[in-house]
Copies of this chain bind each other. A is one copy, B any other.
Amino acid sequence: MDVTYRPIGVLHSPFRDLSEMPIQPTSRASAPGTAEIFAEYAEGLRDLDGFSHVILLYHLHRVRRAQLTVVPFLGSEPRGVFATRAPARPNPIGLSIVSLLRVEGRTLHLGNVDILDDTPLLDLKPYVPAFDRPAQARAGWLEQVQGNVGEVRSDDRFK
């Protein structure tokens, strides 16, 4: 059973190329950007101001093929793709938790975007600490290297 979605908007950022992009919103290279929600969905944005962060789900439109084993940006060993955040997934859905600076009509001003310009936005959810923040979390193989997220940049290995 395939499922089909239609984008609700488009993401804009300074990143036009996969090289040298931030690999997560918490990268020091992440940058302000916007989400432009299409007019037909604007009504759904009511009450969004007041949330400091939103969860963006988007279609990783520049991924050409899935890989089940990847060498992720953090680390040099091959890993199962579902144990990584690499974009070359069977269903290339990206997830970023970014800060919401303000809502201006159908435009969301976002604080720390790690997403390519012109990426199709599929869904937008409020980040809610009581739902989304496990008290204690172990990060498996990433435990030792997750701290490098601030420095490491992407390249086009998953194009």
Q: Smallest CB–CB gap between A8 and chain B, Å?
A: 5
Using Cβ atoms and an 8 Å threshold, which residues of chain B touch A140?
47-51, 126
Copy tally for this chain in the complex stands at: 2
Task: Say if the beta carbon of A62 comes within 8 Å of chain B.
Answer: no
Q: A50 contacts B141, CB within 8 Å? A: yes
Chain A's interface: helix, strand, loop or mixed, by majority?
A: mixed
Q: B146 contacts A52, CB within 8 Å? A: no
A93-B57, A123-B89 known; A133 vs B133 contact (CB < 8 Å): yes
5 new A-B pairs (CB below 8 Å) besides A48-B82, A51-B140? A2-B5, A6-B91, A53-B137, A99-B134, A130-B146
Instruction: Offer 22 A-B interface pairs, CB within 8 angstroms, sorted by A.
Output: A2-B5, A6-B91, A8-B90, A8-B91, A26-B130, A44-B89, A44-B90, A45-B82, A45-B83, A46-B69, A47-B80, A47-B83, A50-B138, A51-B137, A52-B137, A53-B134, A53-B137, A57-B95, A85-B126, A126-B139, A129-B137, A133-B137
